[in-house]
Amino acid sequence: MIQQHLVLDTPTLLALSGNRQVSALVHAAHYEPEVRLWAPVLSVLEADAEYLGLAEHIGQLEVIHTLDLDYPAALAIAQLRRDGVPPGVGAAIHAVRHLPDWGAGALVATVASKAYDGRGVPVLDLTR
């Protein structure tokens, strides 16, 4: 079975509060074992700063798995931030580039696809 690995960024985590596409993605991950959702902890923290309690909500969703922030990730995200990339978006970029080898590529599932223009990562635009 080929799995589809999707990394959720800060704007997408914020959209959990009412975006139909994001809700459908979470629903699909619940019923389709080949869909695997990931959220970098930095994106979770950034989203929770805007919408208090969101971190707890994300933690209750069994289908969203978190990606820890290690030192190499922090350095990569800091470099992206110097280039004007918000930290939660940078965390998603780093995650897609460095997820373990699962035999399938990962992509960023986002409601803010323009943030990834020219960044060289595959994107699933959830606004279409």
- The structural domain count of the chain equals 1
Assess contact for 76 and 119: CB atoms under 8 A. no
User: Residue 47's domain spans which residues?
Assistant: 4-125
Q: What is the pLDDT of residues 22-67, one digit of tens each?
A: 999 999 999 998 899 999 999 999 999 999 999 999 999 999 999 9
Q: Which residues contact 70 (CB under 8 A, 6 or more apart)?
A: none
- Work out the burial of residue 123: count CB atoms within 10 Å of its CB; fewer than 13 is exposed, 13-18 middle, 19 or more buried: buried
Res 29: pLDDT? 94
Any idea how long the chain is? Answer: 128
Q: Can you give the pLDDT at residue 1? A: 54
Residue-wise pLDDT for 88-107, tens only, equals 999 999 999 987 665 567 99
Instruction: Give the model's pLDDT for residue 2.
Output: 61
How far is it, in rounded angstroms, from Cα 1 to Cα 6?
16
pLDDT at site 16: 94
Supply the CATH number for residue 110's domain.
3.40.50.1010
Name 39's bridge partners: 66
Whole-model pTM over 0.75:
yes
Contact 6, 34 (CB under 8 A): no
114 has pLDDT over 60: yes
**What pLDDT sits at residue 66?**
94
For residue 18, what pLDDT band results from cuts at 50, 70 and 90? confident
Interatomic CA distance for residues 33 and 13, integer angstroms: 20
5, containing H or E segment: strand 4-8
